[in-house]
Structure 1
């Protein structure tokens, strides 16, 4: 301004990825080190405190005289100044409300235009330790440090940008709702707004069934800028959540026609279903409705909380969304809670959940802050919140997977008392939901009370959170086994990541068992989730990182399984469980996640998959250790799926050599979607060589591989220590056929590779917690069975699926995937550093 010279800047102009973020671009230009490695993120905090400029040259299409042009930024993060050809279009603050500018006169008659976006430094918002009442932005709060993330504040264009050419009249907001009446007729109800309608405007709606055949075609005239359709569908193909039926989607084509010319068109996909809510069985009169009903069938919620897929969320590619939703379906989940401290996610995630049958619990961008949790009443915040909420409501309401809105995460007007509809902030949001999406439930917050945290006190728990740790033996089992809450919308147990992942972000000096009290690096990657002392008390000293990781994951899986089974045994007095958490946005050494940052499923993931299976058996016990000669009594339950059954369960008590010390058979007749106690296991705890004994529940019947193993001890201290001393497993691996490639479901372009393996235990002792591992590290992997145990002479067939690993941040270019390499699968057992490949050969990790 003063001397006419352009400032050269802190960096040179460098290539930018859009959508994306500044950090990844700086890394690719060699200007920062990998912030996910060791303590490096602390050297990157300067990035959020600078102003950044994006600049590009765009080609301009020819504009007819009656056409207009809009420049649309779907996601600017966070506060930006936008210019085009040096003309200031405006300033924008907020991640979720699109910035839209009419640029017709700026670009008309031009072939090119220079677009510039200046991002101011990131706002100094509250992290997890702060005051919710002083929140003033709609920026993702986890960026500022949470228990599963560091402080690494994203800056950049995090969602799509496009130049939109509009005719004189165009389609505006669309509202789509489906229903099923008592006669079984399906209904699609559609409302559309028209911007600048012409004198002879009409809207044409064509409906295609899931097979692509036309089932309806309607035309409506308009004169007030709005049009409404009610489309009946006889014998509709109904949409159900995962585990309860299929997810057929109807295609809805909407065309705006003026004077026989198509001016604008939209294409939406929807499922036909009736969504209702009711109080739980035995629910207090003042309780909110926590039972979800789809097409007249009660749905027991089997969910997980979804955090953003990456700390730098603008760089998340479609394939990572594909795989995380695939993993959700694969683990028998039917709901994801999109947490209020993270994101209102990109549209693609909701489309995937529509296709996979994953219900969505969507929170608005508000969260607790530790010091106070009172919803902000600041006028400038409420204005931003309204804009975010209306944008989200108008877009996400059209997704059949969306099941419920929530005001935010853990909002409390006083300690341990969740905020209610009486709060000004939340009553305001409730009114917005009633206006823009009246068919869906709005909950004031999660948990919604009347007490916040799980408690041993009876009669006061409706929807609760907690806890997030293994509560100890036997306290964990008495707390969760005797709880009476109606809904459990957040809880978890922590566990260390697998060694394969730890090696990717911890340098060699830090690859050893350690308490976070003694390691700044481990503390930086998951300070809240230190399990070292817990695991050492249960297993004794660890000789390797593999032993520590395996032991920690065992207790995470054990603790989580008990909570899930205990909640499920009270179906529909308890109407569901939502695990904290499905994933993590950056690599933690330890966390409460089921799937780590590198998409490696942990032991807890597979035990969750089993606990949520449609036909399942569970054991109700109250501790992990017993004295020799003590009588052990535990109830046996069956959790039945969509079909009634008359079967029998074989319950055996075995030692680690496979010797049977007790055997019982329980026959049962179960109705569909039911839970029933089928008997009580009673036996005298045996003396075993190493102090361990296993109770195995197994469905009887030819070809049945369904088992559920519970591990107990007669030791007083380090009760699971003998598991580290079991003689090395002698596994024999046979491959069945070659790798077979197939497209991902629903037309996704990615190829999934599958192969079958047969694993046999040729040893003299149990092979504990057998799981496959992909060795090339060029694929994500999931299996239909993992972390299972085989006694001597037993075999199991395992099907493995792999998808090309892509989109991970801060990988060097030379690490790109070779399309010629197929997955390479080996198998590992508990505590071992040896991988077993085909025909029993062993290799060192």
Structure 2
């Protein structure tokens, strides 16, 4: 025992002699330090020394791989060049199985100097899967287990205040094929060779006085024009004797009066107890609203235990409630935010295959969700990225977390006692990190299947104990649980747009869906980043290796390429394939979100597109690619979810107007016109007055069967206000031989019977679009204003891109893209990005389209 620790203990003994320690008398400074640097990684195989020796300061790590935490084993080895360019081609196959041995993580750090009453806490927010933990030669834990379990230790007796300290963590990886309660990507991509073993989340050294505070939380109940705020926080007595303190707090928001409260607390020796405060009434609160409904306003809660410890969180005053509606004989869940029904429109998020993340990437995901007009991110087992939750809070993006499917998480009928404990502790840890976030509106205990009755009851007991204030679902698939509230009946491969509108088919837009989506190959420039030229075209083994998990039904994109060839014509090159696939991605994503939006709150209540993004460079399931390049799917979704939108029903030829805001728009006029190709001859037109009721969809027109049409034709929909300004402008390309669906259907596909003939698009004459661009720079970001003018003919799916050194600058937010310009029309588009993402290069504007030759102009 060090001399400084003996001094601290002597002070505590004197205080204990008087009966009860007062936390308010402590002078220790509360603080938290992330232990990110000074770490090294190596295999445990071949190293004779154990944790007692490895965790001593000064232990030599010659030959180890230096790493920065958080890090998985594979991420650390890749960072050190042990395995290179693992996302290119089939290089991942060259990485051996890294789960066959244990791995050592070792780090050194300097601990803050001691003070009277000071306690040191070591906290691991993410270890996978098993770990043995030593600090300065002392074993803190011989059997930490659980990827999603947070582990915390009172390290006071082992710490060396004001001096060098050493941590050694021996990690045992999870088993392959999702056999442990770990992170799992199922069939989305190849498994990580290490199964994401390592210290994947933050590691913290905290200092407090005798009482530490944990997990502050504010639970909201709305009552008329007021809100009642119930505040909770756990208090932990780190000493071996009773301790008394005053736990006090304030709730603040700029421009609003501060709210203060306090409570005297006496804790027994080593007691951890939830401290609950009487509800605080807030009159006329500033509410937190999701995107397109209002402003995501946040308040600040700060709680303190005398001078011993202090914690702060941001929270939103909002209330989420659920309701049920029966559609087509099935009960579906819908949700209200602050009493207003909201149509969930989102995508399934997955982190990088090596579980790497950074602020730039996290912010891009959240900004892209808003950029597409979506409001929800689903996390199927992708838990623990707390920065993502913070960003979602501030952006007004809803987060739908829950456990993953098709793994040990759902194969729970034969769980061991350890697995039962790990499951409960995982839920406890994750709900504690999520519950104060305004964005986290729902928890799903299961995905494809519900847990067993016993485990579901245990889960619900945990949620009740933590005062989880939001709705929950037992699972999100009615095929396994008729009362699930959400369906998951596919599809998962490409389908023609008509499917989303057809309620008689699996995947039709009715009820609520936990996930469904299609293959979505990225643009050619992205393919060239992870495939050799010979693998980009023709499509072969390496290309399909970047589809779903090898050996799964998703290890090829054959349904997609068949649809593309049948509808747009057989591709003749990689560039031709990309041109056509971007059009197909656009029309499919647009139709998906339009179909769900048109029936909102009557027959449809929420949809999650599978997927939002990819874990690695992929040709399957995304709305934007791994490198953050937005393509056809991104802009199709963005078009469909504009605040007030006019849409076409591929099944019934109905025209709908959808208002996704909480403000009714009256005095609108909807117009439909049908045109032949390639001459654009108008064959039909009609108009109708429209009042777009807030937060609703309405059918306004029906396009009749039109004679004299070319085999491929265009439908143009326009919505204008009373002053003639365009509110929504939408162009569809379709055929007199439409897509039809066959009767063969299973959980991942309904097989098309016939395919629409869209080859008339290939007869469009080349269009020469004039483009100008101007740039403004402010505060590290840049906005480029782009003007496109089409003098004659039809300019179809025109794609302006801000590029630097020949590659599109990403992440980037466009006000619009893939626009179709009729003869004599022009449009203005803005693009916003960070100056740092230019990489020191001068930006330029590249413009191209389906029938528009590529041209590049400088951006001054």
Q: Which interval holds the TM-score relative to the shorter structure?
A: 0.7 to 0.9
Whole-Å separation in 2 of the counterparts to 1:512 and 1:595:
21
Question: Which of the residues 515, 524, 536 maps onto 1:499?
Answer: 524
Matched-pair contact (CA < 8 Å) for 1:802–1:823? no
Matches within 5 A, 1:362-441: 362-364=401-403, 366-369=404-407, 377-411=415-449, 419=450, 423-441=453-471
Cα distance, 1:798 vs structure 2: 0.6
Cα distance, 1:298 vs structure 2: 1.0
- Is 1:247 matched with 2:296? yes
Structure 1 unaligned regions, length at least 5: 128-134, 412-418, 453-458, 623-632, 743-750, 807-816
Cα distance, 1:193 vs structure 2: 2.2
Q: Which residue of 1 aligns with 2:219?
A: 177
Q: Which residue of 1 aligns with 2:655?
A: 636
Cα distance, 1:759 vs structure 2: 0.7
Whole-Å separation in 1 of the counterparts to 2:94 and 2:429:
36
Cα distance, 1:580 vs structure 2: 0.8
Cα distance, 1:250 vs structure 2: 0.7
- Is 1:233 matched with 2:279? no
2:279 is paired with a residue whose SS is strand
CA RMSD, aligned part only?
Answer: 3.3
Matched-pair contact (CA < 8 Å) for 2:174–2:197? no
Cα distance, 1:519 vs structure 2: 6.4
- Is 1:26 matched with 2:83? no
Whole-Å separation in 1 of the counterparts to 2:434 and 2:538:
45
**Per-residue CA distance 1:583-609 (angstroms, 9 max, x = gap):** 111001x11200111011221111112
**Per-residue CA distance 1:673-731 (angstroms, 9 max, x = gap):** 1211112222524344xx32110111124342621111112468771223234233311
1:240 is paired with a residue whose SS is coil
**Per-residue CA distance 1:221-242 (angstroms, 9 max, x = gap):** 2245524142221121111111
1:154 is paired with a residue whose SS is coil
Q: Which residue of 2 aligns with 1:348?
A: 387
Question: Which of the residues 329, 335, 358 maps onto 2:376?
Answer: 335
- Is 1:739 matched with 2:776? yes
Q: How many residues align?
A: 769
Whole-Å separation in 1 of the counterparts to 2:850 and 2:405:
38
Matches within 5 A, 1:143-222: 146-152=187-193, 153-182=195-224, 184-196=225-237, 200-209=244-253, 211=254, 214-222=257-265
Whole-Å separation in 1 of the counterparts to 2:288 and 2:656:
30
Whole-Å separation in 2 of the counterparts to 1:34 and 1:292:
44
Matched-pair contact (CA < 8 Å) for 1:773–1:828? no
Whole-Å separation in 2 of the counterparts to 1:16 and 1:337:
30
Question: Which of the residues 553, 559, 576 maps onto 2:588?
Answer: 559
Whole-Å separation in 1 of the counterparts to 2:212 and 2:636:
51
- Is 1:312 matched with 2:312? no
**Per-residue CA distance 1:741-764 (angstroms, 9 max, x = gap):** 34xxxxxxxx43211101112343
**Per-residue CA distance 1:50-82 (angstroms, 9 max, x = gap):** 432222221122112421212222212222222
2:249 is paired with a residue whose SS is strand
Whole-Å separation in 1 of the counterparts to 2:628 and 2:834:
11
Whole-Å separation in 2 of the counterparts to 1:492 and 1:291:
20
Cα distance, 1:544 vs structure 2: 2.0
Whole-Å separation in 1 of the counterparts to 2:645 and 2:323:
26
Cα distance, 1:475 vs structure 2: 6.0
Whole-Å separation in 2 of the counterparts to 1:460 and 1:16:
43
Matched-pair contact (CA < 8 Å) for 2:289–2:337? yes
**Per-residue CA distance 1:333-366 (angstroms, 9 max, x = gap):** 11111113xx2131111111111111121102x4
Q: Which residue of 1 aligns with 2:270?
A: none
Cα distance, 1:481 vs structure 2: 7.9
Structure 2 unaligned regions, length at least 5: 1-45, 268-272, 739-754
Cα distance, 1:513 vs structure 2: 3.6
Q: Which residue of 2 aligns with 1:651?
A: 672
Whole-Å separation in 1 of the counterparts to 2:255 and 2:858:
45
Whole-Å separation in 2 of the counterparts to 1:540 and 1:584:
28
Matched-pair contact (CA < 8 Å) for 2:786–2:829? yes
Q: Which residue of 2 aligns with 1:55?
A: 106
Question: Which of the residues 323, 333, 341 maps onto 2:364?
Answer: 323
Cα distance, 1:667 vs structure 2: 1.1
**Per-residue CA distance 1:147-189 (angstroms, 9 max, x = gap):** 344443323221111221121122134232122212x112221
**Per-residue CA distance 1:281-325 (angstroms, 9 max, x = gap):** 7686x836x1111111111111211122x0011x21111101100
Whole-Å separation in 2 of the counterparts to 1:376 and 1:741:
59
- Is 1:76 matched with 2:97? no
Q: 1:106 to 1:670 in 2, by over 3 A?
A: closer
2:662 is paired with a residue whose SS is coil
Question: Which of the residues 303, 308, 312 maps onto 2:346?
Answer: 303
**Per-residue CA distance 1:531-580 (angstroms, 9 max, x = gap):** 22221122222122122123223223323332322222222122111111
Q: 1:9 to 1:167 in 2, by over 3 A?
A: closer
Matches within 5 A, 1:439-838: 439-449=469-479, 463-472=487-496, 478=502, 483=508, 485-514=510-539, 527-530=555-558, 531-572=560-601, 573-588=603-618, 590-622=619-651, 634-640=653-659, 641-644=661-664, 645-655=666-676, 656-688=678-710, 691-701=711-721, 702-704=724-726, 706-714=728-736, 719-735=757-773, 737-742=774-779, 751-776=780-805, 777=807, 779-803=810-834, 818=839, 820-830=840-850, 834-837=854-857
1:107 is paired with a residue whose SS is coil
Q: 1:652 to 1:19 in 2, by over 3 A?
A: same
Whole-Å separation in 1 of the counterparts to 2:234 and 2:390:
22
Matched-pair contact (CA < 8 Å) for 1:125–1:141? no
Matched-pair contact (CA < 8 Å) for 2:473–2:484? no
Whole-Å separation in 2 of the counterparts to 1:538 and 1:2:
60
Matched-pair contact (CA < 8 Å) for 2:218–2:436? yes
1:439 is paired with a residue whose SS is coil
Whole-Å separation in 2 of the counterparts to 1:2 and 1:497:
45
Q: What is the TM-score normalised by the length of structure 2?
A: 0.83
1:367 is paired with a residue whose SS is coil
Q: Which residue of 1 aligns with 2:145?
A: 93
Q: What is the TM-score normalised by the length of structure 1?
A: 0.84
Q: 1:212 to 1:254 in 2, by over 3 A?
A: farther
The 10-residue stretch of structure 1 (274-283 or 725-734) with the greater mean CA deviation from structure 2: 274-283
Matched-pair contact (CA < 8 Å) for 1:403–1:441? yes
Question: Which of the residues 324, 327, 335 maps onto 1:279?
Answer: 324
Matched-pair contact (CA < 8 Å) for 1:517–1:523? no
**Per-residue CA distance 1:360-412 (angstroms, 9 max, x = gap):** 21102x4125999666543322111011001112221111111111112212x
Cα distance, 1:528 vs structure 2: 4.1
1:679 is paired with a residue whose SS is strand
Whole-Å separation in 1 of the counterparts to 2:365 and 2:548:
26
Whole-Å separation in 1 of the counterparts to 2:656 and 2:521:
30
Matches within 5 A, 1:92-111: 92-108=144-160, 111=163
2:431 is paired with a residue whose SS is helix
Question: Which of the residues 79, 89, 93 maps onto 1:38?
Answer: 89
Q: 1:61 to 1:356 in 2, by over 3 A?
A: same
**Per-residue CA distance 1:466-509 (angstroms, 9 max, x = gap):** 11223358666545789474212211121211111111111122
Q: 1:104 to 1:465 in 2, by over 3 A?
A: same
Matched-pair contact (CA < 8 Å) for 1:465–1:489? no
Matched-pair contact (CA < 8 Å) for 2:588–2:636? no
Matched-pair contact (CA < 8 Å) for 1:275–1:294? yes
